[in-house]
Chain A
Amino acid sequence: MFLLKKKTLLLFFVLLSFSLLLIKSPKVKQTFTFKQTSYHIKDSLSDEAKYQAQFASKGKTKLVHCPAIIRLKSGNLQGFWYGGTREGAKDVNIFTAVFHKSSNTWGDEKVLVTRQNIHEDMGRYVKKLGNCSVMRDSDNNIRLFFVSVSLGGWSGSSINTTISMDEGNTWSCPKRLISSPFLNISTLVKGTPFLFADGTIGLPAYHEFIGKFCEILLVNKQSEVIYKMRLSKGRSALQPIILSNNSISATGFFRNGGSPPYKVQMVKTTNGGKIWSKPSFISLANPNSAIAGMVLQYGNMLIVFNNSKNKRDNLSLAYSTDIGQSWHIIHTFEDNKTGQFDYPSMIRDDKGNYHLLFTWNKTLIKHITFNKTWLKQKLLSARL
């Protein structure tokens, strides 16, 4: 009798908990559409060709790495990177600086995130800080994603996010994203996040614990990972960038972190990211280094990459007119056998100027600006 009563009670408990689960669990998205990038940027070809290079960082720290850049509402730009005595050191902080368009100069770099911040704000231990990427979300706030490690090397990474509602002056307490079932480790960011049409953030992420593979994390306004899209498998792809051609088509490019051929990898989707093609190699070389890219009008694409099979001593610009199938190298930004130029990040400002930030010899962050006329000239000389 007692057993029967117990069983009935437990059955009731099961029904209650599963009813709750069904009511409260999120509905899995069935359709995905990318938010369209606006091309309404005023620029005229009658402008003079403009190409300018300067340093964004001032050498306050021995090492700087992995810059990210965003356009502010004022038209200024804000850059982010990490810096310290060496990569993975405990004194590594995330820095920020503003590029003033009126004076065409970078302001002083300031510390934005420290390990101590995380200990205090998030109530958890962090051993080191790393890569960051930045975007403007659907509420027009700036969102910074950055990597932190609590255990081990980079394979023990987690992604955190912090939001600024006042154009980068103050930032919210960071929040850790839960993106992996294995102690939430081994997820990193590098590529620029993008938006889906419903405001969900698509965060290009990658893992490098047991596997080296790429994913897109779908992050909601509460900074929670609500879904994922797997882009590759195995141990050969890192640091994805996603370039959407229209509301349902996009192309993803990966750093080749595996075996030969040492070339950039590419995936495609034609259904908003629901299904991605298997990775294939494109003609651009890749010495296991990060790339940056951008979609232009009519689906033409730009990619900044290291044009070498084994070194990062050459940083070049490539152009594609057929959604990434074939590429033409149109310019070399840096070429020095003893140098290291890597981790590019690129945006376009409200005047149509292109801004490229990259790590220059791991000691400074370099900023290169060029305009559409300069790009057009390069395309003409490459007969494109």
Chain B
Amino acid sequence: MVKTEIIISTPLITGHISSLLVIIAFMLAVVKKNNIRTLYRLYIVGISVLISEMSFNGISLTKYLWGVLGSLSTTTMLLLLCFIYQKLFDKKIVTNKNLNFLMLLVVTGAIVLYPLSLGLYYTDPYLAGYGSFLFILSLFIICIFALNTYHYPALLCICFAAISYSFEIMESRNLWDYLIDPLLVFFAIFWLAKQSLIKATAYFKLKKQQTK
């Protein structure tokens, strides 16, 4: 009884692109060899695209991922693009210092957003994403701070999220959904933990050498 005319909308396209980026990034991450030529890596991208459109039980992998993950935030999509570029051309776009700052912002945002929006109290910070001026002002201040401290990737992520939100490229009408998503938060926690561990190990090594 339901009409089956599919509306090809921008959110539908964005949703499928975000799922496709996850698949390509996953495939490139799985191939650990660093000495393979760019051309072969491009083949991997091609294979990823083919796999993503292959039908399993009547449904493609991108549709499956979109169903499960929904639309990923603009920040995640930008970071996936950076990761794919880095894997393809062996060039790092985002430095560790810049990524640390960005991930710190993501984790801070998640701490503010998730516990309360999942029902911890009556206050819901997710409401701020529905056009709150104070929220927009806070993001602007973060951007100016990032500009002055040369944390350009964080600045670009916020600005691209703002532009994407303005043009409604995703299903959501909430700005939070353009800034962060749980997948990004899990990665941010993992990244910050890894960086802290590296720093701690280096510190204790140095201290050990000094006492010797």
Q: Please give me the residue from chain A that is nearest to B165 by CB atom.
A: A21
Question: B4 to chain A: which residues have CB within 8 Å?
Answer: 117, 120-121, 173
A228 touches B127 (CB 8 A): yes
Check A354 for interface membership: any CB of B closer than 8 A. Answer: no
User: Mostly helix, strand, loop or mixed at chain B's interface?
Assistant: helix
Question: B177 to chain A: which residues have CB within 8 Å?
Answer: 178, 181
Check A296 for interface membership: any CB of B closer than 8 A. Answer: no
Q: Please give me the residue from chain A that is nearest to B70 by CB atom.
A: A184
**Interface residues on chain B, number (Cβ under 8 Å):** 62
Alpha-carbon distance A180/B144, docked complex (angstroms)? 29
Check B1 for interface membership: any CB of A closer than 8 A. Answer: yes
B12 touches A123 (CB 8 A): yes
Taking A10-B155, A21-B162, A110-B1 as contacts, is the C-beta distance between A180 and B173 under 8 angstroms? no
Q: Digitize B2-24: 1 where CB-to-A-CB distance is under 8 Å, 0 elsewhere.
A: 11111100001001100000000
Taking A10-B155, A213-B119 as contacts, is the C-beta distance between A24 and B165 under 8 angstroms? yes
Check A1 for interface membership: any CB of B closer than 8 A. Answer: no
Taking A25-B166, A170-B1, A213-B119 as contacts, is the C-beta distance between A176 and B171 under 8 angstroms? yes
Which of these binds chain A: B38-46, B58-66, B190-198? B58-66
Check B30 for interface membership: any CB of A closer than 8 A. Answer: no
Taking A10-B152, A21-B166 as contacts, is the C-beta distance between A170 and B3 under 8 angstroms? yes
Check A226 for interface membership: any CB of B closer than 8 A. Answer: yes
* Residues 172-201 of A contacting B (Cβ, < 8 Å): 172-174, 176, 178, 180-184, 186
Which of these binds chain B: A41-49, A60-68, A230-238, A240-248? A230-238
Taking A182-B117, A230-B122 as contacts, is the C-beta distance between A150 and B68 under 8 angstroms? yes
Check A20 for interface membership: any CB of B closer than 8 A. Answer: yes
B1 touches A120 (CB 8 A): no
Q: Please give me the residue from chain B that is nearest to A110 by CB atom.
A: B1
Choose one: B126, B155, B156; the contact of A228 (CB below 8 Å).
B126
B165 touches A25 (CB 8 A): yes
Choose one: A126, A181, A234; the contact of B126 (CB below 8 Å).
A181
Smallest CB–CB gap between B67 and chain A, Å?
3
* Residues 197-235 of A contacting B (Cβ, < 8 Å): 207, 209-213, 224-228, 230, 232-235
Check A2 for interface membership: any CB of B closer than 8 A. Answer: no
Q: Please give me the residue from chain A that is nearest to B65 by CB atom.
A: A125
Taking A22-B136, A123-B66 as contacts, is the C-beta distance between A173 and B3 under 8 angstroms? yes
Check A101 for interface membership: any CB of B closer than 8 A. Answer: no
**5 A-B pairs with C-beta separation under 8 A:** A28-B131, A120-B4, A181-B126, A183-B69, A184-B172
